[in-house]
Every structure is written in C-alpha cells, then in structure tokens.
Amino acid sequence: MTSPTDTVLSDLDTDRAHRIYRHLHAHPELSMQEHATADLVAAELEELGIGHFRCGGTGVVGVIRNGDGPVVAFRADTDGLPIAEDTGLEYASTATGTLEDGTVVPVMHGCGHDTHVTSLLSAARALTSHPDTWSGTLVLVFQPGEEVAAGARAMVDDGLWERAPLPEVVLGQHVMPLRSGTVDISHGVAMAMADALRVTVYGKQSHGSRPQSSIDPIVLGAHVIARLQTIVSRELDPRTPAVVTSGTFHAGLKENIIPDRAEFTLNIRTFEPEVRERVLAAVRRIVSGEAAVSGAPEPLVEEIYSFPRCHNDPVQAARVESALRDGLGEGNVSVAEPVMGSEDFGLLGEAVGVPSVFWMFGGSTSHRARRPRSTTPRTSRPPWDRRWRPARAPPSPRSWPTSAPTHGADRPAPTPDTTKAGPVGPAFVLCRGGGI
C-alpha cells in the first residue's frame, strides 16, 4: 500500500493541472455549446486509459473500474457565462459566443466551472495512478449546460444511467470565495429551486399626448412588479425563505409613444416545493389580475427555465462531512445553511432515486476570503461501514489546482492566485483505502 503522500499529485501533474485550468479559463464556451471543452476532457480521459462516452450533446462520462466496492458518481459542470472578463489575468478570456437569438456575446468562466473540470480530471489522474489505495467504481460526469438548467436533464434523457453504472450516491462541489482548504456543507436542502419567467403585458398604443386613448402597458407592468413584492412580504410566513426578483423590463421605442406591450422577466427562488407552487400561483394571479384591472388583454407568461432543488441526503452528507473533516481538519469544515443560489445537479440522482451530496469549497488565497461560519456538526456522525472507512489520511489540500475568478452561487469573485495551491479536490471523499 502507498503512503499518504504518494496519493498527492506530483509536481509534474500539478503543473499539468494548472495548464489545463488556464487553458479552460482562456477558452470558455456557452451552455450546451461546450464542444472544445468536451474534446479536451475526452482527450485527457483517453490519455489516462479511462473508458468514456459522449452524453447529452456536449457532456462526457468516464468510468473507472477498480475491483469490488461501491459505485460513486462525481459531477463537474463545464459551461461558461456571457460575461466580459476584466480581471487583467494573462490568461483572461477574450472568447465570444452566440446566444440562441443570434446575439454575439463575450464569454467567461465566471462561475468557476474551469476549476471544477480541472479538479475532477486531477482526481481521476490521482486515482488511476494509485489503484492500490482504493477500490470500487467511479463515474466521472462532466456535465454541460448547468447555467441554463439544461445539462443534467439532457444527460439523463440521453440515457446516462442506462449507459453508465448506476451509482449508490452522486457527489458534486462548487468553488466559492472561501479560504482555500475550507468547505461549507449542508444537511438537507443545500440550494434553492429557481424558476425564471418571461411576462408580456399587452396594452393599446397611443401618442403620448393622448393617454386617454391608450392602455399603458408600462404603467401596468410597473403595478405588476410592485405588487409582486407583496407575495413574500404579505402572503408567506415571515419565517419562510423566498425571493421574487424582476431583472429586466423592456417597452417602447420612442419617448412620446405609449407602446402596445411591455416585457419583463422574473426570477423566483424557494426551498420547499409547496412554497414554490404557492409563489408561482400568486405570480400568475397578480399578473392576470392587474391586467384585468387595467382593462388590458390577458398577459402571456412563459417559462424560461426551472432549476430543481439541490437536496443533500442527511446520511450521505454526514459521511462526506466526516471524510472532509478527517482530510482538512475540524476547523476547516462548516455545517452551513442552504443558499439561495441554484443548481441542476440534484436532478442527476433524483432521476433514478439515488441520494446526492453537494458542498462548497474554498478557492481563494486572499486574506479577504470568508472563513468558515461554524465547525459544529449539525448531526452526529453515523458509523462508517468498511467500504467508507479511510485506511490513511486523505491527500493534502495543497495538491489541488488553483481557483478561477468565480461568483459562485451569486457571490463576488475571489482574488485568483495561481502561484499557490488552491481548492480541495474530489479525492478527499473519493480516495479511500479499501473503497471509494
């Protein structure tokens, strides 16, 4: 059996991880358009001798079989965002992409998915280099389209779990502006459900000097948006978390013409399914009711996307938390409250009735990075069975690739520092003596 230090990435492999990360950061691709990223991942898996297949369009799935033991899936998302990068990094993105409506936009890995891909590839390299330190089967899921809630569904619909071994648990992680080497993990709900709606209200066009001849959709839209804010403040229990945000509003082309329609978008975040249904029903009621009061036609409400709930199975979350505490130290792991950010990760396990666990890991060496909030476990740790019990200390956090600029789950980007080691990698949980 190898010693604990033998399972850490070598200097050569660490340099390779840094090069992969910088390449990915400089060449991001929009959601469901990650063709070059998928080619890179497939080439890396091929070089490691890991069997793989394409799934869900631009998704890639690799399978590492290493004897008897549990089957565990680990997911990394791969898409970038339509953001213009202004970090000043020598490997900053200058890439552009084309949205569905034909608009050409700048693209940046503004959510750290370049770090996620690099971390999982590095874990695969560490595990295939030291097969005597673990046993079982690992399914590597490189998922496209997380930012638009399309990738997990596309992979499931494309037969992900018919083509890959069915896992006993699905694991995932997200880089955050936390201090490198620290982790936040939740028990139960980890991230919110999200629903995005496009609302078009109709009116009657008229010259601005003759408002009496109009039905003003701008005034109507303004009343709708103001009234929507009463859903959380007046219709829900004050102890019930929910968010209703209007992010865009578009109407008219000329200041002296009252237009015939206005369009605005909504973003809704909730933790519980019944609260979600109540908020969505209230939105439709208010939109329809305000239109009726204005004497306007029935508005059009269209779904843009819907993110599922990200729920951590309590038993599996306790196992992961224990492994992370063993690897990082008690003071570097926090039991955290759920966040209002959203993820489609939960669908991967939910689709086949498999538990999942998702956590946040630190990706910043800046002194401004937030420290863990609390290190007290919310629940006691369950006994570990033989498959999960570590036979040695997990690898050092200093073996994993550096962080990308990231807003995480709607948070500001940490200051990147590629001269120092960065976030914890998946092998803290995966690389376990005698089992995954």
Nearest to 217 by CA among 198, 200, 199, 203: 203
Report the distance separating Cα 209 and Cα 106, nearest Å.
Answer: 41
Question: What is the Cα Rg of the chain in Å?
Answer: 24
CA dist 204 → 223, 249, 258, 299 (Å): 17, 18, 8, 13
CB count within 10 Å of CB 427 equals 30
Contact between residue 431 and residue 136 where contact means Cβ atoms under 8 Å apart: no
Nearest to 374 by CA among 317, 336, 325: 336
Residue 162 annotated in active site: no
Nearest to 182 by CA among 335, 303, 311: 335
Q: For residue 129, what are its two tokens?
A: 């280099």
- What is the residue whose two structure tokens read 């939109």? 287
Active-site position among 29, 85, 114, 146: 146
Instruction: Report the Cα–Cα distance between both ends of the chain, in Å, rounded.
Output: 15
Report the distance separating Cα 199 and Cα 149, nearest Å.
Answer: 19
Residue 146 annotated in active site: yes
Going edge to edge, which strands form the sheet with 300-307? 242-251, 261-270, 193-202, 300-307
Mapped onto helix, strand or coil, the DSSP state of residue 386 is coil
Contact between residue 59 and residue 144 where contact means Cβ atoms under 8 Å apart: yes
DSSP, residue by residue, 325-356:
HHHH-GGGEEE---BS---STHHHHHTTT--E
CA dist 136 → 46, 50, 80, 132 (Å): 20, 14, 32, 11
Active-site position among 34, 77, 79, 350: 79
Contact between residue 418 and residue 377 where contact means Cβ atoms under 8 Å apart: no
Nearest to 118 by CA among 394, 409, 408, 399: 399
Mapped onto helix, strand or coil, the DSSP state of residue 186 is coil
Report the distance separating Cα 436 and Cα 429, nearest Å.
Answer: 8
Active-site positions read 79, 146
